[in-house]
Structure 1
Amino acid sequence: MPHPFAVTPFILLLGAIAIFPLLKVTEHWWESNTNRFIVAVVLAGVTLLYYMTIYVDAGLGAAWHRVDHAILKEYIPFIVLLFSLYVISGGIRISGDLRAHPMTNTTFMLVGGLLASFIGTTGAAMLLIRPLLETNKERRFRQHTVVFFIFVVCNCGGCLLPIGDPPLFLGYLQGVDFLWTMIALWEPWLVANALLLGVYFLMDKFYFYPKESAVDVARDETQTTPLTVRGLMPNALLLLGVIFSVALLDPTKPLPGIGWYPYVYLREVVQLALVGLSVWLGSTQVRQDNRFNYHAIVEVAALFVGIFICMQPALEILNEQGPSLGIDSPMKFYWITGGLSSVLDNAPTYLVFFKTAFPHMDAAAIGHSLADASAPPHFNLMAISLGAVFMGAMTYIGNGPNFMVRAIAEEGGVKMPSFFGYILFFSVPILLPILGIVALIFLR
């Protein structure tokens, strides 16, 4: 088992992700993906150096074993999936200016919450945030609409499939069945999102919308443009292809009815081929109108190459010591996973507590332990999954799309709350009680 100090690079990297964007001294420097990559690689190098020199079984073999596990088996499938969803969804553009009634905005979020599980929270957010802002541009009070969009579309909507949110895909790579999330989490998903949408509708209809000036309301009623969708074909079919590739081309599981095990990386090759078709067959003009670029996905790739290496000591320690930590109930898993997902990235947080709940288990053992929907492992994983996905909405740094939506909204003239303003005025008084209700209903 690694020494506890071996987790230092992991803590430093997560700290950099959380703190550097907030400090005036480092804010601009951290915007460069090159600088993010340098920090991630240096700290990953320190971790590998530990395995080569200080670890009990130190040597090149020990370091390579971690690279093989973290990069070849987990990071590459993870980043290829995110890249595929990001690029293909970037080829679809929804534009228009509807009347910004409370029901219109609620419907936008409802559609986004449904899409999030099927094209990823990032894809759904990038698809819908601009038409939502365009629809609301005549209104003065828009901040709360963007915040609830972050709650629903960027986070809570994405828990029905492994492709919905990165933590769940990491669970899928560990051996969780593709449809387990749909079967186990649809009821909490429904309750959480219904409550959020209901609260938003009531707030907007009875508090914010009546505060709009008569002039702004008149402009909103008259200056309208019908919604148009461009780039839907072939990109909608290509997104379906990504979903089927994840569901069917798992190298650890035979194809249903055939018994053939897909080749390693066949899934990733298919996904990249679908990306190529999207770029080749799709409209360049649509991507330009979307202001599409690769900056956001390169940021994720640069940081996570370090995260996947640096978290290996933490995962191994939890594999050994997890049962002795006293995290032995769904409620504890939910609040601890969720609390840390609020201030750290939710993907590595999920994986850390996944290893705590399923120590020393391979994919087959994990799948077998989840087969009984009334057994503790089922509820523990429900708690970990819901905590990581839902509470990624508690802060701007809990999930990648949160910051992206905030930046796009500010570009569109919306004055967004500060880091602490978001927490104090929105996530704690509104989101947290709703997540508490979900826990009381569904977690034993």
Structure 2
Amino acid sequence: MNLIADTYAQLEATSFVATTEQPHEEHHGHAEPPAFYSVIPFAALLLCIAFLPLIHKTEEWWEHNKNRFLVAVSLGLVTLLYYTFLYGHGVVDHGTHELSAPGFPAAVVVLKNAILGEYIPFIALLFSLYVISGGIAFNGHLVGRPILNTGILAIGGAIASFIGTTGAAMLLIRPLLKANAKRDYVAHTVIFFIFVVCNTGGCLLPIGDPPLFLGFLRGVPFTWTLSLWPEWLAMNGMLLAVYFVFDTVRYRKENKAKVEAVPEDPEPFALKGGINFLWLLLVIFCVALLDPSKTVPGTNWSAPHFFREGCMFALAGISLLTTSKSIREQNSFNYEAIVEVAALFVGIFICMQAPVQILNVYGASLGIDSPAKFYWATGTLSSFLDNAPTYVVFFETAKSAGGSPPMIAGVSEIELVAISLGAVFMGAMTYIGNGPNFMVKAIAEKNNIRMPSFFGYMFYSCLFLLPLSILLTIFFL
């Protein structure tokens, strides 16, 4: 999709966000859409993520991050070769708003947009949050009963709007896994954690999720998203209720003696590494205030490009220096999960450029003319593409179509509600719908939890999220 804009809402302010300050027609008006077959590398990468872990001959091979990186980069190279030899048109540079020459210069701009404008800010945010939150440990004997697990999910859903879905996820996933360490059935808990903490909890403030931050940058009042509280409460309340029932049924199958056994010398409840909350707060300030496209509030100074990312990397380094090694050892902290995300998303961001460009060109002609259509169109595409540019495309589509008052930032309010909810809520439909989704999956797997495959996860999301989205459409849109 993620601290101030959790997966990189403002992170895209470096380039894409800055571009979207211009009218949609202006920065894409002279760019020709790629051929529809240009989405093949992106689709192929999704299929690799989905199926290679399931095939016996490739399962072990795929477990190595260097092989994931090889596949991702190879498919990204195919996309760049398409822009070099087959596209035949220029590409808009998201930083300068200029149209490149066709051929090799177009491929260079695609690479620049993907890596400099999106990938580096994305990884800087996730890496800093991953490292800093890895220095916070909650001690004490916690038993992963349904009521405790539901409580942790509820807390995560409540704070996600205020520290970003990525921040909330990185803060709470380890205590949740620790509480459930003796349970046999844990994957469903991680799945609902992704639903609530990584996605649906983050719609009340622009700092909660990337699409909403983009809306704020385009003129949506900062506190307007608080008006989404009925939908937020309904979706998260239903998800938590369903999870509690589901986990209660699963808990009955557990070995209660093993799960609830009290250690001979139980640890007292304590928080270790509290200094890292300060570093988390500073990461939030970095993302909120060090936007290269804007002056720092109260000054005439704008941060240079990548100054923000440098500060976030520096804060991660400070966290490593100021946190006891024993705390990270207690958390079983290592870099495997973030390396896995970095290896795959470098290809995802490059391959994604073609389908997003197609969507930018054809979005206004899709015949979307009602709140329900905006919700499902935005949500469906946000499930597989980055939800930030998807949000912007449909924001501009609704803006150009007019609509009935009241209007918010030039968009009919009910349509803006639909676009906002679709981008945030349905980012939970796949592992790649929002940045922290894949991160949480990777952390769970490093803790020996067997998570479902790409389509296995979609089975859960279709089973639980789609019916709730239908109810949301009926009662709110």
- Please give the alpha-carbon distance, in whole angstroms, between the structure 2 residues aligned to 1:399 and 1:285: 31
Q: 1:252 aligns with which of 269, 288, 293?
A: 293
Q: Per the alignment, in what secondary structure is the counterpart of residue 261 of structure 2? A: helix
Q: CA deviation at 1:327?
A: 3.1
Q: CA deviation at 1:71?
A: 2.3
Q: How does 1:128-147 map to 2 (within 5 A)?
A: 128-136=172-180, 144-147=188-191
Aligned partner letter, 1:197: L
Q: 2:466 aligns with which of 425, 432, 435?
A: 432
Map of 2:95 onto structure 1: none
5+ residue gaps, structure 2: 1-31, 91-101, 401-405
1:61-110 CA deviation, whole Å, 9 max, x = no partner? 32233233332222222221121111111111123223555432222112
Map of 2:340 onto structure 1: 299
Map of 2:68 onto structure 1: 36
Q: Per the alignment, in what secondary structure is the counterpart of residue 332 of structure 2? A: coil
Aligned partner letter, 2:147: M
Map of 1:81 onto structure 2: 125
Are residues 139 and 310 of structure 1, via their aligned partners in 2, closer, same or farther at CA, if it must alter by over 3 Å? closer
- Please give the alpha-carbon distance, in whole angstroms, between the structure 2 residues aligned to 1:157 and 1:435: 15
Q: CA deviation at 1:238?
A: 0.8
* RMSD of aligned Cα (Å): 3.8
Kept in 1: contact 2:341–2:438 (CA 8 A) = no
Map of 1:56 onto structure 2: 89
Aligned partner letter, 2:108: W
- Please give the alpha-carbon distance, in whole angstroms, between the structure 2 residues aligned to 1:261 and 1:410: 41
Query: Normalized per residue, which structure has more helix?
Result: 1
- Please give the alpha-carbon distance, in whole angstroms, between the structure 2 residues aligned to 1:281 and 1:265: 24
Q: 1:192 aligns with which of 229, 232, 235?
A: 235
Map of 2:389 onto structure 1: 351
Q: CA deviation at 1:231?
A: 0.9
Please say if 1:373 is aligned against 2:408.
Answer: yes
- Please give the alpha-carbon distance, in whole angstroms, between the structure 2 residues aligned to 1:24 and 1:232: 44
Q: 2:194 aligns with which of 150, 160, 169?
A: 150
Q: CA deviation at 1:240?
A: 0.6
Q: Per the alignment, in what secondary structure is the counterpart of residue 261 of structure 1? A: coil
Q: CA deviation at 1:236?
A: 0.4
Kept in 2: contact 1:245–1:271 (CA 8 A) = yes
Are residues 223 and 435 of structure 1, via their aligned partners in 2, closer, same or farther at CA, if it must alter by over 3 Å? farther
1:258-317 CA deviation, whole Å, 9 max, x = no partner? 243322222212212211211111222211221222222222222222222222222222
Q: CA deviation at 1:431?
A: 3.3
Q: Per the alignment, in what secondary structure is the counterpart of residue 229 of structure 1? A: strand
Please say if 1:96 is aligned against 2:140.
Answer: yes
Which range moves more in the overlay, 80-89 or 98-107? 98-107
Aligned partner letter, 1:283: S
Q: 2:424 aligns with which of 383, 389, 404?
A: 389
Please say if 1:335 is aligned against 2:376.
Answer: yes
- Please give the alpha-carbon distance, in whole angstroms, between the structure 2 residues aligned to 1:272 and 1:246: 12
Q: CA deviation at 1:241?
A: 0.6
- Please give the alpha-carbon distance, in whole angstroms, between the structure 1 residues aligned to 2:265 and 2:237: 30
Kept in 2: contact 1:338–1:392 (CA 8 A) = yes
Kept in 2: contact 1:354–1:384 (CA 8 A) = no
Kept in 1: contact 2:381–2:390 (CA 8 A) = no
Are residues 224 and 154 of structure 1, via their aligned partners in 2, closer, same or farther at CA, if it must alter by over 3 Å? farther
Map of 2:10 onto structure 1: none
Map of 2:329 onto structure 1: 288
Q: If the length of structure 2 is used for normalisation, what is the TM-score? A: 0.75
- Please give the alpha-carbon distance, in whole angstroms, between the structure 2 residues aligned to 1:105 and 1:129: 11
- Please give the alpha-carbon distance, in whole angstroms, between the structure 2 residues aligned to 1:162 and 1:27: 39
Map of 2:403 onto structure 1: none
Q: Per the alignment, in what secondary structure is the counterpart of residue 21 of structure 1? A: coil
- Please give the alpha-carbon distance, in whole angstroms, between the structure 1 residues aligned to 2:82 and 2:475: 45
Q: CA deviation at 1:384?
A: 4.0
Are residues 140 and 165 of structure 1, via their aligned partners in 2, closer, same or farther at CA, if it must alter by over 3 Å? same
Please say if 1:275 is aligned against 2:316.
Answer: yes
Map of 2:156 onto structure 1: 112
Aligned partner letter, 1:229: L
* % same residue: 53
Map of 2:23 onto structure 1: none
Aligned partner letter, 1:190: L
Q: CA deviation at 1:229?
A: 1.6
Q: Per the alignment, in what secondary structure is the counterpart of residue 305 of structure 2? A: coil
1:148-167 CA deviation, whole Å, 9 max, x = no partner? 33332233223445664566
Q: 1:219 aligns with which of 247, 261, 270?
A: 261
5+ residue gaps, structure 1: 366-370
Q: Per the alignment, in what secondary structure is the counterpart of residue 97 of structure 1? A: coil
Are residues 331 and 224 of structure 1, via their aligned partners in 2, closer, same or farther at CA, if it must alter by over 3 Å? farther
Q: Per the alignment, in what secondary structure is the counterpart of residue 369 of structure 2? A: coil
Map of 2:9 onto structure 1: none
- Please give the alpha-carbon distance, in whole angstroms, between the structure 2 residues aligned to 1:22 and 1:168: 35
Q: CA deviation at 1:244?
A: 1.1
Q: If the length of structure 1 is used for normalisation, what is the TM-score? A: 0.80
Are residues 69 and 337 of structure 1, via their aligned partners in 2, closer, same or farther at CA, if it must alter by over 3 Å? same
Please say if 1:27 is aligned against 2:59.
Answer: yes
Map of 2:16 onto structure 1: none
Which range moves more in the overlay, 18-27 or 412-421? 412-421
- Please give the alpha-carbon distance, in whole angstroms, between the structure 2 residues aligned to 1:217 and 1:47: 49
- Please give the alpha-carbon distance, in whole angstroms, between the structure 1 residues aligned to 2:278 and 2:320: 14
Are residues 144 and 220 of structure 1, via their aligned partners in 2, closer, same or farther at CA, if it must alter by over 3 Å? farther
Aligned partner letter, 2:50: A
Which range moves more in the overlay, 6-15 or 388-397? 388-397
Kept in 1: contact 2:89–2:106 (CA 8 A) = no
